[in-house]
Structure 1
């Protein structure tokens, strides 16, 4: 039986390499002859498959490149801890291996992570573009409520505790320091461990309805002070109505401080 040339060469070399059991080798050669072409065909297909794989860019490699890009980008954001999770891509996705450096475009409106998307683009006329989902969690130590706070409570240092918080999950502004919180008033109930969001804090009530206040009228460098009675509660910066105690006139002014109103 005639063997294909590459098989014949193999067995010829094998037979001439030294003392062997020639009868055994001949039997092996004849047994292999019928399968040799099949083995050759399979080897050829594997070679083609390996070549095709070498020319593609795997989704696993893409996810790793996106993760590296995100880690580099969010290092610029102040944090104590940074967690990055790149989402899964369609397993059927086939991308040509890019001969140039990939370009990344981050879509993060807040700049603080959360659920975001990254456009990965291979430049060039034969390039491609794909959007990759990711979850970014940026952790920082910020003040939180040490205990439950009731609406209307005026906050002091005993209300505060520092905790490591995922700031990416906070969709409104939040207080970063105790100075941003102490002296303010809770506009709503705040649970223990919650951060102090900007929209949950208010300036404290500086003037109560019925209280005596000082009215300040100013023209240039001249200030005129008079007394009056507040007709409504007022916080710093709010407008309230005040009855002038001397003239009985009702005027409108802005609360400057506790007991002090600037007339308009």
Structure 2
């Protein structure tokens, strides 16, 4: 399952769990009660994940509130996701008192882990080095340990170039690799300019290095700057 799809499915399950939270009083008088309620709520959310979340193995670690915190007894506590929060990696859960002498609102830390297959580097790889099938082996890792999506298909990294220094033991993620550059900044390139009813082939100068599929800017012989998409053969496809 795509990690971003899983993350959104997890959040949707959480929102569903909030709506289904029992209407009867959820009493809490100590921070420990809040932790227990949170574990109950998270377990309910995990149970609603779609079956195709497999082969990921989900785990949620509920953190602790500040030991110095003193909360007034509450007859009903409502859990909620703060705006912009996601149940993925290190996050937090809002808990607010709806029925009590004193209304309060606190945030409890959570760590959501999603263990699944990924490719882990067997040695160090320098920036710009081309990755081969011998550079990584398949292993189980926590997909949620980093915001960047893991690379699960070897076709997505074999033959790609390291975008930054990589270390042995790292799980390959999409921001770690890039397509190899087909030309450097300042290099002469061929451009195919297409317009309504015509196509013209011309030449220009690349204003930046380019890889297949990238959008690059080209300076034409007349000084005009246009943008186009790099083809797999290093030519540029532009449109007027």
Give 1:205 deviation, angstroms: 0.9
What CA RMSD, in Å, does the superposition of the two structures yield over aligned residues? 3.8
Gap runs ≥5 in structure 2? 1-26
Tell me if the contact between 1:117 and 1:131 (Cα under 8 Å) persists in the aligned partners: no
Look up the match of 2:42: 70
3-state secondary structure, aligned to 1:164: strand
Give 1:138 deviation, angstroms: 0.7
Q: Tell me: higher relative CO, structure 1 or 2? Use CA pairs within 8 A at least 6 residues apart.
A: 2
Tell me if the contact between 2:184 and 2:209 (Cα under 8 Å) persists in the aligned partners: yes
Which protein shows a greater Rg?
1
Aligned partner (choices 185, 194, 201) of residue 177 of structure 2: 201
Aligned partner (choices 182, 185, 199) of residue 223 of structure 1: 199
Aligned partner (choices 33, 42, 53) of residue 61 of structure 1: 33
Look up the match of 1:143: 119
3-state secondary structure, aligned to 2:191: strand
Mapped pair 1:177 → 2:152: yes
Give 1:70 deviation, angstroms: 2.2
Give 1:144 deviation, angstroms: 3.0
Paired residues in the alignment total: 202
Please, what TM-score do these two structures have when normalized by structure 2?
0.63
Gap runs ≥5 in structure 1? 1-54
Aligned partner (choices 57, 67, 74) of residue 80 of structure 1: 57
1:119-130 correspondence to structure 2 within 5 Å: 119-124=94-99, 126=101, 128-130=103-105
Change (3 A) 1:72 1:147: farther
Cα offsets for 1:33-79 (capped at 9, x unmatched): xxxxxxxxxxxxxxxxxxxxxx9734433321111112333553944
Higher helix share: 1
Give 1:149 deviation, angstroms: 1.7
Please, what TM-score do these two structures have when normalized by structure 1?
0.58
